Amino acid sequence: MSRQNLESKRAGGPPLPLGYAIGAGPSLFTPHNWTLTREAHPDRRFEVHYSAWEPILQGDPLRLEAVIRNLVDNAVKYSPSGSTIRIELAPHTEGLHLRVADEGLGIPSHDLPRVFDGFFRGSNLPATQGGMGLGLYLCRQIIERHGGRIWAESQEGRGTTFHVVLPRERGQQHGARPAS
């Protein structure tokens, strides 16, 4: 897909109002939230790695937390009982790099360019698997309105990793407008 196509598929809308400066590690998804997630899914192994307690991000903590929740919910939903889900927060040249990796059914390569589209559902899903196809669409809206990027890597039958890069500050280089 050409760069122009990628650009034209970007989510629209203004940047979100950002009133908070949040510490990436402890505030983005609190230890309490991890405990709740583990308790909700005792049949999964969660590996959580924080190598980034810095940098400080500017962002909307509730919406950023919703992004992580959506990615973790998908990782659980599309992977088998007993498998491992790895969540990693690490420094990145632009700011912060979040990865959510599972060992699930994966996403067919021809579906990958469309997973962030509204109402899109993978062609490899069992007919009984419920969902609206909106979770990733919302994730992309939220991340791009923070001046960040989100993408997926996947091998069908092996697993999927979602990546999010959030800028240290609201990045002019991403076309975000200053807060009003």
Site residues, Mg ion (CB under 5 A):
74, 135
Beta bridge partners of 151: 163
Q: Is 150 in the site for ligand ATP (CB under 6 A)?
A: no
- Closer Cβ to ligand ATP, 33 or 124, answer by number: 124
The single residue among 137, 141, 142, 145 that binds ligand ATP, judged by CB under 6 A, is 137
Please give the distance of CA 105 from its chain centroid, rounded to a whole number: 18
* Paired strand residues for 45: 84
By CB under 6 A, name the one of 107, 143, 150, 166 that touches ligand ATP.
107
160 token code pair: 């999927």
Distance CA 119, CA 123 (A): 13
User: What does the block give as tokens for 107?
Assistant: 């996403």
Degrees (nearest 5) of the Cα angle 130, 104, 77?
30
Binding status of residue 141 toward ligand ATP by CB under 6 A: no
| 131 near ligand ATP, rule: CB under 6 A | yes
**In the bound complex, what is the minimum distance in angstroms from residue 138's beta carbon to ligand ATP?**
8
Q: Which helix (H) or strand (E) holds 159?
A: strand 159-167
Q: Which is nearer to ligand ATP, 61 or 104 (CB)?
A: 104
Give the one entry of Mg ion, ligand ATP, none that residue 55 binds, where binding means its C-beta sits below a cut-off of 5 to 8 angstroms depending on kind. Answer: none
